[in-house]
Amino acid sequence: MSNPFENLNQRLENIENLLLELKYKPIEEEKSENLTVKETAELLKVSEQSVHNYIKKGFISAQKLGRILLIKRTDLDNALTEVKSLKYKRA
């Protein structure tokens, strides 16, 4: 016959491990779907004018809603992965 305290100790260890995983798990910030030019500039750590230039050159796609330019977060993430994956070419 097994010791009931061993069973309890094992269950408590499992609970402790789960709590430690939750404690050290990185918390993701809630990401809004659309970003303004200002939010994008803060995220990329560049000026707002640079973001406007990236949009004008076609590096980042944006939709105009009235007078506001909105940039989808997924489009921004895709643009950043494309830039990282580009290989330098000699012309």
Q: Where are the domains of the chain?
A: 34-85
Global pTM value:
0.57
Architecture of the domain spanning 34-85: Orthogonal Bundle (1.10)
How many C-beta neighbours within 10 Å does residue 36 have? 17
pLDDT in tens, 9-26: 999 999 999 988 887 776
Longest C-alpha distance within the chain, in Å? 79
Residue 30 has a pLDDT of 59
Q: Percentage of the chain surpassing pLDDT 90? A: 49
